[in-house]
Amino acid sequence: MNIDETYHYPTDPASVYALATTQSFREEVCVAQGSSESEVTIDEQGEGATVTILRTVEGQMPDFISKFVGDQVQVKQEETWGPAADDGSRTADLRITIIGQPAEMTGTITTSQESNSSTNFRVNGEITVNVPFLGKKIEPEIAKVITEALSTEVELGKQRL
């Protein structure tokens, strides 16, 4: 199942990238998203960075899914940000894995200048759940959780900027 969400920040792409690679902000996001435990690592690499977030969250899934995953799940999110393009835009490879479960999302995050005072923050990816018969029913539930988490992060980011 594909997710393609675009959000808007009232600032330039460089400021959005700086926020996305600030450890205190990402830790604050984990708390706002309801993580009971989290670990954030940011590894700057040349003109980019790798952000790794490991968090434990409530399952937030319908009963037919909770039977398989339990009340809490561990989620690993990895973003590998490349260097800024000439126009300031950036792209990150994104991978979200539910640890111990056959579910993941792979895709990209792109920041791009929308106007003089606005940046598009686009998340595009494919969710796959490798469970016969149930996988296609579980994917939309995971998509809901991911989009809710993204919305929380963006709203918190707007407050910080």
Q: Which domains does the chain have, with CATH numbers?
A: 2-160 (3.30.530.20)
CA distance 84 to 69: 38
| Better pLDDT: 139 or 133 | 139
Query: In the chain, which ranges are continuous DSSP H helix?
Result: 13-20, 23-32, 63-69, 135-160
CA distance 43 to 48: 9
CA distance 136 to 58: 21
| pLDDT value for 82 | 97
CA distance 148 to 4: 13
Beta bridge partners of 44: 49
CA distance 129 to 138: 7
Predicted confidence band at 138 (pLDDT cuts at 50, 70, 90)?
Answer: confident
- Specify the residue for token string 């706002």: 32
pLDDT tens per residue across span 14-58: 999 999 999 999 999 999 999 999 999 999 999 999 999 999 987
This prediction has a pTM of 0.90
CA distance 153 to 55: 14
Which tokens hold the place of 12?
A: 């330039």
| pLDDT value for 134 | 77
CA distance 141 to 136: 10
**5 and 148 in contact (C-beta within 8 Å)?**
no
Which phi and psi angles does 131 have, rounded to 5°?
-130, 120
Mean pLDDT of 155-161: 94
pLDDT tens per residue across span 54-107: 999 876 655 555 555 566 789 999 999 999 999 999 999 999 998 988 889 999
